[in-house]
């Protein structure tokens, strides 16, 4: 019998990886005959849904005192969030509540309410919020694990936006929704990488509740990859992702200007204008801006290789997965969950943040004879939605 599944994410438009995975999961479950509802926060850019009328009211940390107070109340599970979520529980009566990114703009109180109704509660972890109140396990540009032992560090180090008020809110939120509280409400934590599962266990979470399940490519995009003809590659490599410091883009561009190969950079972010200006005179570096799914597929499928130079604990980056599904080998940093996706047959790894090793890895990728068809065939199998679905049904939703 098909289950009724309620998906919960704080935004309901393609804002980031968590939103993309939520949409992909919704499409997958519907395609398998499940009744699916969604719950989110009201937001101008949201995609319209039949369930929008049940969404929690919008809160923002960027307004005046009253707005900030409302946002603080939301993080602690106060205000109208309980009423809004109870309404959709009453109406939809889910068997499973599958949480995605819910902190701050929604609240872990939804897990508590779902559990009280007897729902099976699963939570896909898209970041390190349950271990690090500032999400990224990153401080001063370096990986940091201080909060694994004491969440007070987020306050004393002012890790949240470098500001005391924001850090104080993150600290209070971590105290309210501590490990013991969350473990009582959640039946299964879905870790998209083995690295994430190891870090959760390091932070004290029960290993029996940790399920490693890699992200998958949405069915429509998977069809586009399956229809690709794996042919001759063009003499360029590419970066697809956010243009921000933790993604390692500055290290990559420093290396790229001294290499003879063409680099195509796709994506936007806080460093975009600065980097475009700095490298405007380098003819073999091209900034493409934001690309749609079709354009990304075309870019990847013609590249000699793609590069993922991250300098933070990447969880299970879709950028690696999509590159491999296009039959394109990956030059990836040895950090977070990236190395789990790369082996000798589909890419090259290098010590994260090491410009010289990155340079050598890119050069090696250009001079290796890759079997692009084999790379693609294995990836389409490993990251299929059917495999993902079978794991959800057999061990996580059950």
**CATH number of residue 234's parent domain:** 3.40.50.2000
For residue 52, what are the contacts with CB-CB under 8 A and spacing of at least 6?
A: 12, 42, 46
Residues 34 and 96 in one domain: yes
Residues 307 and 388 in one domain: no
Residue 264 bridge partners (DSSP): 238, 286
How far apart CA 195 and CA 192 sit, in angstroms, is 9
In the chain, the number of structural domains is 2
pTM reported for the whole predicted model: 0.91
What region, left, alpha or beta, does residue 93 occupy, with left being phi > 0 and alpha being psi -120 to 50 degrees? left
Residues 198 and 285 in one domain: no
Residues 184 and 55 in one domain: yes
Residues 208 and 258 in one domain: no
3-class SS shares of the chain: helix, strand, coil, % to 5: 45, 15, 40
Query: What is the tens place of the pLDDT at every residue in 29-64?
Result: 999 999 999 999 999 999 999 999 999 999 998 888
Is the pLDDT confidence value at 354 over 90?
Answer: yes
Residues 329 and 376 in one domain: yes
**Any idea what the Cα angle at residue 192 is, between residues 186 and 193, rounded to 5°?**
120
Residues 392 and 321 in one domain: no
Domain limits at 225?
219-382
Alpha helices in 261-383 (DSSP H): 272-278, 293-302, 318-325, 355-367, 372-382
Query: What is the tens place of the pLDDT at every residue in 148-165?
Result: 999 999 999 999 988 898
Is the pLDDT confidence value at 220 over 80?
Answer: no
CB 239 within 8 A of CB 288: no
Among the residue ranges 16-30, 78-92, 101-115, 332-346, the one predicted with the least confidence is: 16-30
Residues 25 and 167 in one domain: yes
Residues 227 and 159 in one domain: no
Residues 152 and 67 in one domain: yes
Residues 308 and 364 in one domain: yes
Residues 13 and 155 in one domain: yes
Q: Kindly give the pairing relationship between strand 96-99 and strand 138-139.
A: unpaired
């Amino acid at each position: 019998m098909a289950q009724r599944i309620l998906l919960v994410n704080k935004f309901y438009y393609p804002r980031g990886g968590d939103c993309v995975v939520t949409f992909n999961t919704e499409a997958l479950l519907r395609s398998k005959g499940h009744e699916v509802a969604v719950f989110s926060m009201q937001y101008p850019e949201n995609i319209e849904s039949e369930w929008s009328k049940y969404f929690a009211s919008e809160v923002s940390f960027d307004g005046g005192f009253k707005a900030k107070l409302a946002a603080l109340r939301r993080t602690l599970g106060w205000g109208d969030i309980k009423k809004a979520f109870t309404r959709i529980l009453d109406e939809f009566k889910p068997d499973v509540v599958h949480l995605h990114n819910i902190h701050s703009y929604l609240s872990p109180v939804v897990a508590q309410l779902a559990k009280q109704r007897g729902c099976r509660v699963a939570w896909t972890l898209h970041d390190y919020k349950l271990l690090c109140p500032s999400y990224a396990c990153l401080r001063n540009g370096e990986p940091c694990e201080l909060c694994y032992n004491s969440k007070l560090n987020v306050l004393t180090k002012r890790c949240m936006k470098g500001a005391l008020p924001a850090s104080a809110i993150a600290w209070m939120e971590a105290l309210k929704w501590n490990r013991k509280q969350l473990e009582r409400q959640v039946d299964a934590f879905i870790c998209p990488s083995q690295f994430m599962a190891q870090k959760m266990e390091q932070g004290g979470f029960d290993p029996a509740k940790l399920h490693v399940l890699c992200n998958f490519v949405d069915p429509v995009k998977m069809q586009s990859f399956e229809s690709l003809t794996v042919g001759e590659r063009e003499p360029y490599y590419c970066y697809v992702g956010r243009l921000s410091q933790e993604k390692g883009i500055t290290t990559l561009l420093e290396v790229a200007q001294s290499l003879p190969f063409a680099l195509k950079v796709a994506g936007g972010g806080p460093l975009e204008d600065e980097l475009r200006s700095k490298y405007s005179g380098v003819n073999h570096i091209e900034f493409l801006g934001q690309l749609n799914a079709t354009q990304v597929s075309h870019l990847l499928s013609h590249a000699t290789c793609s590069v993922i130079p991250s300098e933070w604990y990447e969880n299970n980056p879709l950028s690696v997965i999509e590159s491999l599904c296009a039959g394109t080998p990956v030059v990836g940093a040895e950090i977070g969950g990236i190395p789990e996706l790369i082996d000798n047959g589909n890419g090259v790894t290098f010590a994260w943040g090491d410009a010289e090793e990155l340079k050598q890895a890119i050069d090696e990728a250009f001079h290796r004879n890759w079997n692009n068809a084999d790379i693609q065939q294995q990836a389409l199998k490993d990251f299929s939605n059917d495999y993902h679905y079978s794991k959800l049904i057999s061990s996580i939703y059950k």
